Structure 1
Amino acid sequence: MEKKSLGLSHLFMTVFLYCFSGFMVIPAITDITMSAICPGKDECSLAIYLSGIQQAIMGLGSLAIMPVVGNLSDKYGRKVMLTVPMTLNIFPLAILAYRRTKEFFYAYYVLRTLISMVTEGSVHCLALAYVADNVPESRRVSIFGILSGIASCAFVCGNLSTRFLSTSATFQVAAGGMVISLLYMRMFLPESMKMKNGISAKATETDSLLENAPKKTLKVLKTLPSLHDTISMLRTSTTFSQAAIISFFSTVGEVGAHASLMYYLKAQFHFDKDQFADLMIINGIAGTVSQLMLMPILAPAIGEEKLLSVGLFFSCVNLFLYSIAWSSWVPYAAALTSVVAIFAMPCLRSIASKEIGPCDQGKAQGCLTGICSFANVVSPLAFSPLTALFLSESAPFRFPGFSIFCAAFAGMIAFVQSIMVRTAQPVTYCTDETSNSVEP
């Protein structure tokens, strides 16, 4: 038990360092994009389209890769698979840390798009699987909430540091933080699969991916998930299928709003890097307090199914308030609803994890992440043109936040579906197919 607790502590620190480095550049990206593509303007349709296309391509790649990553982590361990995304994500940040001219922005844009096709969402997915390896079902929703709270805390710290750093220093610190998070993970994080089910240490170290590679390649390829495997996973239980539907529609709404919000606020209220950071700090503090303090109390008291519905409802309220913002203070007030809206995703992941056997946690979380990635493809294709249209002078009617209003409607579909979720008895056994690791 002490070893598992130590492993979770190191996981939390790894997630904090990684998220801190990734989140601190978000407020600056919009200004850099606008200055590189449309210098001197507060509204730029090309910037909105480029961001939407990037998000769609990243989602398309993640859709194919995430189930593979989850499945491979069941075979070779979480630590090995965490190494790949944490290493690759250093390089795009290093480009903008060096220079932020138009040419370097496009180099960053292309490299980040290609890398994120492989890595987007993988650290979060693998962290959830790591928690599921080491935490019993009765405590899992609380620990998932704490994990999300750690990410929210990193979100606050990252955006707070951006508030006091220059743009160049922001990217330099972010690139350095990524390196530190990778080194910390490799040095201190124990492999959860060893603690859980005795998978061979040889199969959980990085060298195992290289040793006897020709002989293992065919066997590994045969174990990679196909579309049929994903469909079979969705048929595992009605609750898991409902979780997949909720994941899709809530992500469509969340990604649609995220793709639109900063450009909407810049065009409507002339927000800049510092104001974006202030808004994100409010969101982050609300989410941190909620998940670290409120969720461990509320989840056992009222149940994660009800907490899921409450979180999704307030997520819709959050987006609705953004969409009708009539003054620059309204987005700050809307951000406070994150105290409750943040409950949704940890509850959903916990509900899904209880429907799947202990040897399939990586595959299950990878399946849900893949579905969220599909939403990442659909959402920008729908919302980017809508945002560009309603922020332009040729809008059919005056409603600058119409795309965010539509995102709130997608979230409402997820809320309605969540009301019908009923959890079954947790699965505590492994299937024959997944209980055996790849033979050497």
Structure 2
Amino acid sequence: MEMMRLRRSGHLFVTVFMCGCGSFMVVPAMVDVTMSAVCPGQDECSLAIYLSAFQQAIIGLGTMVMMPLIGNLSDEYGRKTLLTIPMALSIIPLAILGYSRKRNYFFAYYVVKTLTAMVCEGSIHCLALAYLADKISDRQRTLAFGVLSGVGSGSFVFGTLAARFLSSDLTFKVAALLSMVAAVYMRIFLEESLPDHDLLEPILKQRQDVTETQTHKVNKFPSVPEVSHLLKTSKTFSQALIVAFFNSLADGGMQASLLYFLKARFHFTKNQFADLLLISGVAATISQLFFMPILAPVIGEKWLLSIGLLISSINIFLYSISWSFWVPYAITTSVVFVVFTGPTLRSIASRQVGPAEQGKVQGCISGISSLANIISPLIFSHLTALFLSERPPFNFPGFSIMCIGFASMVAFIQSIMIRADAPVSSHKTTNSSMEA
């Protein structure tokens, strides 16, 4: 039954795949495009790092507000309806660079990308998770989330492979076209999904009386009392938020710093970046589609989360002391274990609420991750620029990367302390049966 429901979500997977291809295809080229627009002919450019960091921080500020709002609105109006907004907006910045990559067009892209990403960044994945949570039971949710992440990794592989062989000019044109096709496909083929508000009493409203619950309309933005009540009710959810924050702090730091570090340290170009991302994507796809379904029932999602965070911490420390160009390639293969983190963390959080709050909870996780993405570039980009400059405080180009590793280690330590509570929905089902 569960596998049949998973197969029926095929249109969602196709949508995520095509949309991911369009987004990931441009990643290897962006460093070179940014450098050529801001600091032409240079391999080290503090201004480019600061511009990327500023953009990441502003996007994080926007998504911190928008993710809980979008997730909560999807609980009321449906996942497909809300998916349309970020998928349509994501086309615009790609189309700008597809038209021209000259300096003026780059800065137009920079502004438009910053504004649209406040809504688009992470929201497609967040809504896709909520869509699957509507369809799949608690026990199979880790598997379903793992398959979704595997599809995302597959799109990463395909997009990166295309970037490896396409010229930069064609890359942005093809990416824009794929994003358009994904949006049209989603609107035509994907069925709407609305959570069943009457199936279970929502955890965020469980202290309200029956009459108030029946007449209450969903707030468009999760209120502070609602979120506070959930945090007090579920210690597991509170711990998951802490893990999400520090893991996103590390991820945001790597996103803002690693490619510029490798370009300055080993003079990597678009092709080397594409090779690294391709290795990472292949390993992630194999792991999420084949290894996770086998390991999750045996080891449990809690320990898969801890393993992923531990390997991630070790990887970051190794990046910081890279002594040769081949070291990043060797480290990238261990992403087989690192990719356990996202699906298991989302699954643990998902199991703490009933079906009517899946969008809200996934939005809260995305919101706290966005908060980390505001803080991270403000800290680590400055350190990266400082230690890659001609006059660093001391000779350690990877010092900022090592600091990022400590944030990842905090997430790992917290993950060990997460309690493997029974699903909240199970408790509520039992209680409802007893009352009946």
Query: What TM-score comes out, normalization by structure 1 length?
Result: 0.90
Q: Provide the secondary structure at the position in 1 that maps to 2:19.
A: helix
Q: Provide the secondary structure at the position in 2 that maps to 1:377.
A: helix
Post-superposition offset of 1:91: 0.3
Post-superposition offset of 1:220: 7.6
1:64-86: CA deviation from partner (whole Å, max 9, x where unpaired): 11111010000011000000000
Q: Partner letter of residue 301 of structure 2? A: E
Structure-2 separation of matches of 1:318 and 1:325: 10
Post-superposition offset of 1:242: 0.2
Q: Partner letter of residue 309 of structure 1? A: S
Structure-1 separation of matches of 2:48 and 2:234: 42
Post-superposition offset of 1:430: 11
Q: Does 1:427 align with 2:429?
A: no
- Whether the 8 Å contact between 1:141 and 1:304 is mirrored in structure 2 is yes
> Paired residue for 1:243?
240
1:160-211: CA deviation from partner (whole Å, max 9, x where unpaired): 00011000100000000000100111111111227x5689xxxxxxxxxxxx
> Paired residue for 2:403?
406
> Paired residue for 2:357?
360
> Paired residue for 2:208?
none
Post-superposition offset of 1:227: 3.5
> Paired residue for 1:9?
10
Q: Provide the secondary structure at the position in 2 that maps to 1:235.
A: helix
- Whether the 8 Å contact between 2:37 and 2:102 is mirrored in structure 1 is yes
Post-superposition offset of 1:425: 1.6
- Whether the 8 Å contact between 1:312 and 1:412 is mirrored in structure 2 is yes
> Paired residue for 2:152?
151
Structure-1 separation of matches of 2:6 and 2:224: 36
Q: Does 1:252 align with 2:246?
A: no
Structure-2 separation of matches of 1:221 and 1:381: 35
Aligned with 2:221 (options 217, 220, 224): 224
User: Which 5+ residue runs of structure 1 have no aligned equivalent?
Assistant: 200-218, 432-440
Q: Provide the secondary structure at the position in 2 that maps to 1:399.
A: coil
Q: Provide the secondary structure at the position in 2 that maps to 1:175.
A: helix
Aligned with 1:288 (options 272, 280, 285): 285
> Paired residue for 1:85?
86
Post-superposition offset of 1:290: 0.5
Structure-1 separation of matches of 2:418 and 2:358: 20
Q: Provide the secondary structure at the position in 2 that maps to 1:192.
A: coil
> Paired residue for 2:138?
137
Q: Provide the secondary structure at the position in 1 that maps to 2:43.
A: coil
For the aligned residues, what is the CA RMSD?
1.7
Aligned residues: 411
Matches within 5 A, 1:24-35: 24-35=25-36
> Paired residue for 1:435?
none
1:279-310: CA deviation from partner (whole Å, max 9, x where unpaired): 00000011011100000000000111111100
1:100-152: CA deviation from partner (whole Å, max 9, x where unpaired): 00100000000000111122110010011111111111111011111111111
Q: Provide the secondary structure at the position in 2 that maps to 1:193.
A: coil
1:44-83: CA deviation from partner (whole Å, max 9, x where unpaired): 0000000000000000000111111010000011000000
Q: Provide the secondary structure at the position in 1 that maps to 2:408.
A: helix
Structure-2 separation of matches of 1:164 and 1:223: 45
Identity over aligned residues, as a percent?
56
Q: Partner letter of residue 189 of structure 2? A: F
- Whether the 8 Å contact between 1:62 and 1:370 is mirrored in structure 2 is yes
**Kindly tell me: are residues 114 and 220 of structure 1, through their superposed partners in 2, closer, same or farther at Cα, counting changes over 3 Å?**
farther
Post-superposition offset of 1:318: 1.4
**Kindly tell me: are residues 293 and 88 of structure 1, through their superposed partners in 2, closer, same or farther at Cα, counting changes over 3 Å?**
same
Post-superposition offset of 1:225: 1.8
> Paired residue for 2:345?
348
Post-superposition offset of 1:404: 1.1
Structure-2 separation of matches of 1:287 and 1:70: 26
- Whether the 8 Å contact between 1:70 and 1:365 is mirrored in structure 2 is yes
> Paired residue for 2:103?
102
Structure-2 separation of matches of 1:339 and 1:20: 20
Q: Provide the secondary structure at the position in 2 that maps to 1:271.
A: coil
> Paired residue for 1:68?
69
> Paired residue for 2:328?
331
Post-superposition offset of 1:221: 8.9
Post-superposition offset of 1:236: 3.2
Structure-1 separation of matches of 2:376 and 2:227: 21
- Whether the 8 Å contact between 2:76 and 2:218 is mirrored in structure 1 is no
Q: Does 1:318 align with 2:281?
A: no
User: Which 5+ residue runs of structure 2 have no aligned equivalent?
Assistant: 200-215, 429-436
Post-superposition offset of 1:226: 3.1
Post-superposition offset of 1:224: 2.2
Structure-2 separation of matches of 1:287 and 1:353: 22
> Paired residue for 1:38?
39
- Whether the 8 Å contact between 1:59 and 1:375 is mirrored in structure 2 is yes
- Whether the 8 Å contact between 1:149 and 1:287 is mirrored in structure 2 is yes
